[in-house]
Structure 1
Amino acid sequence: MTASVDLAMVNLDSSDPAGHAAFYHEALGWEVTHSQPEYAMISSGGVSIGFGLVEGYRPPSWPDQTGDLAAAEETFLAAGASKPAFQPGGERWVVLLDPIGQPFCICPRPQG
């Protein structure tokens, strides 16, 4: 099967784009291709991660106790997903299998 689309870039909100890019540069070894206080980017192999300044940015809380995993799980199961016995996430996330057996995780969306 030939892919008709490809991932080129992901952007993340940040309170410190240059610092964020520097961290992932060190962690991943990707090149810092742009770095300013309001926006920074790292790139490797035709894929980039951008970090954009968001004034007043607050990082998500983890784990988020306000999400309703049970309701989300029920919705996915009703749509045809199944739930394997092994659940490594405990109370933080649920592993489900789509109708053809591909695993995916659900977790509460960070609030704020």
Structure 2
Amino acid sequence: MAVAEMYSTVLDTTDPKGLAEFYAELLGGKVDDSGEWVTVVLPHGQRLGFQLVAEHEPPQWPHWPGADTSPQQMHLDLKVTGPLEEAEQRVLDMGGRKLDTDDADGKRPSRVYADPAGHPICLCRV
């Protein structure tokens, strides 16, 4: 028997409202801003929370074992609902940036980007 149900995933950021707006546009959710804590409620009830951490330091990429970088902390795998190239351009237009997107043969199942606060997000072909 489960002890709890998944309620929300929370990301640290220096700009909670700005990062919430990025994810609301990316995922089609609505921003609920109650001040220092901002939430995006997604169409099927999932929630992303964004909390102010003035000293937030984004993770470094790559994060592979043995890499001389800080750990990735967390990342989101997002299922692309249309052409991957269009999704990539929207992420970049919204303030995201490329981290690991080399896909010369067009067969790679995902590409990695950073949101405006530096958290890794993977756009996945599923």
Q: If the length of structure 1 is used for normalisation, what is the TM-score?
A: 0.50
Q: If the length of structure 2 is used for normalisation, what is the TM-score?
A: 0.45
- Structure showing greater radius of gyration is 1
